[in-house]
Amino acid sequence: MRYEPADRLWLAALSHLIPRPQWERTFPITPATLLARHRNLVAKKRDYSKRRRPGRPPTAAAVKALILRMAAENPRWGHHRIHGELTRLGHQISASTAWNILNRAGIDPAPRRSGPTWKQILTAQAEHIVAGDFLHADTARLEHLYAPIMLEHGSRRAHLLGVTANPTGPWTAQAARNYLMSTDTDMTKLKFLIRDRGGQFTDAFDTAFADAGPRILKNPPQAPKANAHCERIIGTLRRELLDSMLILNEHHLRRTLTRYLQHYNTARPHRGIGQLSPSQAETSPPTPIDLADHRVHRRAILGGLTNEYRIAS
């Protein structure tokens, strides 16, 4: 016969009403079993391990991690500033608790723990910088073509200024004026224009941009890393575009670059801006969805040289 917990409870209660010598005749179990069950009931009743300890409750591990993260990401924030940020987010915590967490982690709770890093300085300045350089391409007839490219550091937007087989100083200056008249970029927000020391970039080119606002910064001689962002996009254009197709003539290169840069600015993800496209970074990230519940359409770009994917409406 199997006894349920309720049955055992009744047997333990009855054991207090019946003299011990009569247990063997009254209960269909041994005295040792009955006593063991009784001890278990007493132990459970006197168990205080689940009761809250006196004093303040411990700070959740996720909150501690968030405090340390804020301190690492904001070297100028002290414990009062971090306490205020947590309060603004809706979490009730004392400033002394934030101080203790930082102190135990070996982080100075006072502000100005260290100066800004190079990454922080460059990121803060990126939105005020535009860079320019020439892309070179050879046609199927081995004609050498030139295409000046402008890149906004902050948004990662790229612009084509034109295509020519003879990039003289006057042509480059006129291409700059055409770009300034047609661009939607607010040039007053740009403080610096980075370029190399090529002969195509004349004083007229510098004057066209200087009048719009940016200050001209020239690369040191033979130092392509000084204009690394622009060098990178030119490398991207070669790897993803020019290395996979034959350019027929100047018109073909202009049309191809225009179409690809449209894809580059509106649909291609960039690691420098959180794997978003420049157009997404300027507005807002997409709302997270479950792709299993949606259909994804492919759109071929430049005859299938690359593709764009969109959620079907």
Burial class (CB in 10 A: 0-12, 13-18, 19+), 156: buried
Confidence check: pLDDT of 146 > 80:
yes
Q: Render pLDDT for 11-59 as a digit per residue (tens, 0 to 9).
A: 667 666 777 666 666 666 666 776 676 677 777 766 666 665 666 677 8
CATH fourth-level superfamily of 125-279: Ribonuclease H-like superfamily/Ribonuclease H (3.30.420.10)
- d(CA 252, CA 245) in angstroms, rounded, equals 11
Lowest mean pLDDT among 16-25, 46-55, 69-78, 185-194: 46-55
Q: Render pLDDT for 248-269 as a digit per residue (tens, 0 to 9).
A: 999 999 999 999 999 999 988 8
16, 23 in Cβ contact below 8 A? no
Percent of the chain with pLDDT over 90: 20
- d(CA 81, CA 270) in angstroms, rounded, equals 32
Q: How confident is the model at residue 137, as a pLDDT?
A: 93
- pLDDT confidence of 135, banded at 50, 70, 90? very high
Decide: helix, strand or coil at residue 95.
helix
Tell me how far apart the terminal alpha carbons of the chain are, to the nearest angstrom: 65
Decide: helix, strand or coil at residue 215.
strand
- Identify which of 182, 195, 215 has the alpha carbon closest to the alpha carbon of residue 151: 195
pTM of the model: 0.63
- d(CA 256, CA 241) in angstroms, rounded, equals 9
- DSSP letters for 288-300: P--GGGS-EEEEE
Confidence check: pLDDT of 112 > 60:
no
Q: How confident is the model at residue 2, as a pLDDT?
A: 60
Q: How confident is the model at residue 237, as a pLDDT?
A: 93
Confidence check: pLDDT of 185 > 80:
no
Domain boundaries, the chain: 5-45, 64-104, 125-279, 282-311
Confidence check: pLDDT of 61 > 80:
yes
Which residue has tokens 């690359």? 306
Q: What are residue 299's phi and psi, to 5 degrees?
A: -125, 120
Q: In angstroms, what CA-CA distances link 28 with 15, 21, 78, 250? A: 12, 14, 71, 103
Q: How far is residue 19 CA from its own chain's centroid?
A: 76
